[in-house]
Amino acid sequence: MTFGTEAGFVTEISNLEEFQHALRSSRVVVLDFYSTRCGPCDVVAPLYRSVASRFTGARFYQINGLTEPGLEVQKSIDVVWWPTFVIYVNGEEVWRAKIPNPPQEYPTAELESQLAGLF
């Protein structure tokens, strides 16, 4: 599923093959690992989509770690917390952050700062 924003999109990754393809899809790939049963994830989701609309040079994805295919992706890179943001550059992980529960006042600030340094 793809969620559109004014200038960018967030695409749902549902299995390991899609994840591996996503890492090859762009120089900068941003991931949001979440769960449909995670309150902080609900808070972060619209903010994440907003970041995607501003950093159009990157590809943005979400992975639901509650479902088995998404859980497989989550386990493959040792994500153990929802929500977790991960940035890959040229297929290599360069940054990762767990969003606390409850989320801080501006939970995407560090993500935006990292992306600003890449563009």
Domain-wise residue ranges, the chain: 2-118
Confidence of residue 28 (pLDDT cuts 50, 70, 90): very high
Say what the pTM is. Answer: 0.91
CA 15/CA 50 separation, integer angstroms: 24
Tens digit of pLDDT for each residue in 39-82?
999 999 999 999 999 999 999 999 999 999 999 999 999 999 99
* Average pLDDT across the chain, whole number: 91
Architecture of domain 2-118: 3-Layer(aba) Sandwich (3.40)
Q: Which of 38, 58, 79, 115 is catalytic?
A: 38
Residue 23's pLDDT is: 96
Indicate if the pLDDT at residue 103 is higher than 80. Answer: no
Q: Which of 10, 28, 30, 41 is catalytic?
A: 41
Based on the residue annotation, tell me whether 38 is a catalytic residue of this protein.
yes
